[in-house]
Amino acid sequence: MSRTFYITTPIYYVNDVPHIGHAYTTLAADVLARYKRMKGYEVFFLTGTDEHGQKVEKAANTAGETPLELADRVVKRFQALWEKLNINYSDFIRTTQERHKKGVSHLFTDLMAKGDIYLGEYEDWYCTPCETFWTETQLIDFKCPDCNRPTEKLKEESFFFRMSKYQEALLAHIEANPEFIQPKSRRNEILSFVREGLRDLSISRTTFQWGIQAPGNDNHVVYVWFDALANYITALGYPETAGKLKDFWPADAQLIGKDILRFHAVYWPTFLMSAGLPLPKRIFAHGWWTVEGQKMSKSLQNVVEPNMLIDKYGVDAIRYFLLREVPFGLDGDFSHSALIHRINSDLANDLGNLLNRSTAMIQKYFGGIVQAPLEMTGIDQGFKAKTEAAVNQVESCLEELAFSKALQSIWEVISAGNKYVDETAPWALAKDPAQKERLGTVIYCVLESQRIVYHLLSPFMPDTAKKGLDYLGWSGAPSEDQLQWGLLRPGTKIIKAEALFPRIEEKGDI
């Protein structure tokens, strides 16, 4: 098998419909998956839905449906959105699928056989919206320290996972692998959490029904996080160790939001250690989006619905904005004015304008036919070097999941392209027949740079990249060997580009 790359998103709860927070993680994963595919990796990109647990059961009761009816209905919303957002995943796992349930039962049984699961009694404070138990000292005014909602005291018989046993091993792993939890600030948070000591974890419930039955004990359903986290291996066919599990596990990148870091960076690795499986190479926690400065919430009625945004501004404008506006790992704010500003200045002015003016010039001066570049002067060489440097910058930025920086370095080339046109002034060269060859070379350079730019953009904005490359006379899937300067062939017919991104009126459109 060639080089492989396994990337995952969280699996989304079906008690809520998708919003930009969900779209964000999935989109980031899609960009990385597309980039790695372009670089020749065999990519497995997993997403899905988390369908068990009390939260889903309660939502179904309120809606007058069975939990599965609710899940069947909401899962379609997620899948439709991913299609509309141009998400090219390899597999979509639902925790209600047989393959998953079988894998979870196996994991539970295996950990029990290893002596890491035992039956005990639980008494603590439970926050249903977060599906989390808290000790009394962790509560703030008896409310959940994460979401500030009321908690209830629960006492129940429960299976426990011996998480405490893995404290030292986990600490040693985090310390020895600085890449394991990112960004660094999140890694530090987890380090201090683990150093404070790990308690055994309650991993079953008896107070409701909607979940996977604990193997050998009908009174218990498996705790929703034990169930959900296992998706990352059940989707690869676990417990079957041949096949996908062998090819793709451990995951190369597990992308999550900062709110679910502890589950992924503490619980999940200790389950894996107990199961004797290697730990994921990297868990990356991104920040949260607020909307026009406020927390997104149903009660504030400010939940940003991605479908509406895509209908209004187009899928690639949204893909671009979400990854450009905020460095991955930090919190950010979504505002319509910031979105419109990005579309007008980066997409319409910089990107669209360069394609427009350069494809128009080649029509005017050479009937749309690419000329052979002859002597490259200093200014041409500088521009070429800038384009080539961006190829390496995008590579190293995406290695760090710095999506915004990667886009910034692409935009430096686009700005350099516009500047190059201004400085070489093809319209002036066109007036002098003796400069015909020079004019051909200048136009070659500006088109060739864009051919590389659109390849680099293809993971971020697949439709736009395809359009751009079509105009530049290049058809075919973007691939790594196309990232070199000099592949635009003289004689290629270039088509005059329409505006890729029409400008949006700032007033009255918000």
Question: Whole-angstrom Cα distance, residue 183 to residue 181?
Answer: 6
* Cβ atoms of residues 178 and 187 within 8 Å: yes
Nearest distance, CB of residue 97 and ligand MSP, angstroms: 15
Under 8 Å between Cβ of 198 and 62: no
For the bound state, the minimum distance from the C-beta of residue 296 to ligand MSP, rounded and expressed in Å, comes to 5
Q: Which residue is nearest to ligand MSP (CB)?
A: 257
Of 419, 100, 58, which Cα lies nearest the Cα of 232? 100
CB of 231 vs ligand MSP, minimal distance in Å: 6
| Minimum distance from residue 259 beta carbon to ligand MSP (Å) | 5
Q: 89 vs 454, which CB is nearer to ligand MSP?
A: 89
Q: Please say whether the beta carbons of 19 and 304 come within 8 A.
A: yes
Q: How far are the Cα atoms of 76, 332, 333 from residue 296, in angstroms, in the given order?
A: 22, 12, 10
In the complex, least distance from residue 129 CB atom to ligand MSP, rounded to whole angstroms: 9
Separation of alpha carbons 445 and 378, rounded Å: 12
Are 51 and 67 spatial neighbours (Cβ–Cβ below 8 Å)? yes
Residue 376: how many other CB atoms lie within 10 Å:
15
Four-CA torsion 100, 106, 107, 109, nearest 10 degrees: 150
Q: In terms of Cα–Cα distance, which of 32, 470, 99, 459 is closest to 252?
A: 32
Nearer residue to ligand MSP within complex by CB, 127 or 443:
127
Nearer to ligand MSP, 329 or 440 (CB): 329
The span from the CA of 482 to the CA of 501, in Å, is: 25
Q: Which 8-state DSSP code applies to residue 139?
A: -
Half-sphere exposure of 5 (CA within 13 A, CB side): 20
Q: How far, in Å, are 22, 85, 86, 313, 439 from residue 306 at the CA level?
A: 9, 9, 12, 10, 45
Backbone φ and ψ of 177, nearest 5°: -125, 85
Choose between 251 and 483: whose C-beta lies nearer to ligand MSP.
251
- Nearer Cβ to ligand MSP, position 180 or 454? 180
Residue 11 or 315 having the CB closest to ligand MSP? 11
In DSSP terms, 452 is beta-bridged to none
Q: What is the 3-state secondary structure (H, E, C) of 389-428?
A: HHHHHHHHHHHCCCHHHHHHHHHHHHHHHHHHHHHHCHHH
Which of 12/159 has CB closer to ligand MSP?
12
The nearer residue to ligand MSP, 227 or 448, going by C-beta atoms, is 227
Q: How far is the CB of 14 from ligand MSP (least distance, A)?
A: 8
Nearest distance from residue 9's CB to ligand MSP, in Å? 8
Name 386's Cβ contacts closer than 8 Å, sequence gap at least 6.
Answer: 412, 413, 416
The residue among 122 and 334 lying less far from ligand MSP, judged by its C-beta, is 334
Q: Which is nearer to ligand MSP, 139 or 296 (CB)?
A: 296
What gap in Å lies between CA 81 and CA 98, rounded to an integer? 24
Side chain identity, residue 184: K
Nearer to ligand MSP, 256 or 452 (CB): 256
Q: Give φ, ψ of 376 to 5 degrees.
A: -90, 125
Nearest approach, Cβ of 327 to ligand MSP (angstroms)? 14
Which spans of this chain sit near ligand MSP (rule: CB under 6 A)?
A: 10-13, 21-22, 24-25, 50, 228-229, 231, 256-257, 259-260, 288-289, 296
For residue 233 the two structure tokens come to 């291996």
CB of 387 to ligand MSP, least distance (A): 33
Nearest distance, CB of residue 102 and ligand MSP, angstroms:
17
Name the amino acid, one letter, at 85.
L
CB of 21 vs ligand MSP, minimal distance in Å: 2
To the nearest whole angstrom, how small is the minimum distance from the Cβ of residue 263 to ligand MSP? 7
Within 10 Å of residue 236's Cβ, how many Cβ atoms? Answer: 23
Closer residue to ligand MSP (CB): 234 or 274: 234
The minimum distance between CB 11 and ligand MSP, in angstroms, equals: 5
Kindly tell me which of 166 and 289 has the beta carbon lying closer to ligand MSP. 289
Distance between CA atoms of residues 463 and 205, nearest Å: 47
Q: Are 208 and 57 in contact (CB under 8 A)?
A: yes
Listed in sequence order, the residues at least 6 apart from 155 whose beta carbon sits closer than 8 Å to its beta carbon are 121, 122, 123
**Whole-angstrom distance, CA of residue 199 vs CA of residue 196:** 10
Amino acid at 218: D
